[in-house]
């Protein structure tokens, strides 16, 4: 099976926009969280089970976002979540948010999770079973964007 991003569609909600009706920058983090939760679930390791199953936590060490195209109230967005790198104790997770009407990237996010022991809170190696479960959603950004159908502006 070829790796592919996890895709989920969502609308810009009333609580996501500012007074001008344009998505508030912090609202993208809701879309990222939705993608993160659902890609783990699709991989067979939902967050409701992953911490007890592997006796770990996965705190966020880094989160960034680039804003590309404005989304407005009730616009349809497609969120692609995919893994780009597995370190010894870290996971890099990317998010591409496609504005479906414009077929352009609305936002691009990057998240780094660190595997830590639940008692020590110190980094520890990622469990092999977790790494293997997430592999079907691991690919470079360019390949993920081809799956997403992104049309870059000229």
Q: What is the pLDDT of residue 150?
A: 82
Q: What is the pLDDT of residue 2?
A: 85
Q: What is the mean pLDDT of each run of 10 residues along the chain (154 residues)?
A: 91 94 92 97 96 96 96 97 98 97 96 97 97 97 90 59
At the fourth CATH level, which superfamily is domain 6-148? Hotdog Thioesterase (3.10.129.10)
Residue 25's contacts (CB-CB under 8 Å, 6 or more residues apart) are 65, 67
Q: What is the pLDDT of residue 152?
A: 62
> Where are the alpha helices (H) located in 5-134, listed in sequence order?
28-42, 47-54, 128-134
Per residue in 81-116, pLDDT (tens digit) is 999 999 999 999 999 999 999 999 999 999 999 999
- Residue 51: name the closest of 4, 113, 94 by CA: 113
Q: With 0.75 as the threshold, say if the pTM is over it.
A: yes
Query: Exposed, middle or buried: residue 144 (CB in 10 Å: 0-12, 13-18, 19+)?
Result: buried
């Amino acid at each position: 099976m070829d790796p592919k991003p996890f895709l989920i569609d969502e609308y810009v909600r009333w609580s996501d926009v500012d007074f001008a009706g344009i998505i508030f920058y912090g609202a993208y983090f809701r879309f990222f969280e939705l993608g993160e939760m659902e890609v783990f679930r699709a991989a067979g390791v939902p967050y409701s089970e992953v911490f007890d199953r592997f006796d770990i936590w996965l705190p966020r060490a880094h989160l960034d976002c680039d804003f590309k195209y404005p989304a407005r109230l009730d616009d349809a967005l497609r969120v692609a979540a995919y893994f780009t790198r597995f370190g010894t104790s870290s996971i890099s997770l990317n998010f591409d948010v496609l504005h479906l009407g414009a077929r352009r990237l609305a936002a691009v996010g990057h998240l780094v999770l660190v595997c830590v022991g639940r008692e020590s809170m110190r980094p520890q190696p990622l469990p092999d079973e977790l790494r293997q479960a997430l592999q079907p959603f691991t690919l470079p950004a360019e390949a993920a964007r081809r799956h997403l159908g992104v049309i870059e502006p000229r």
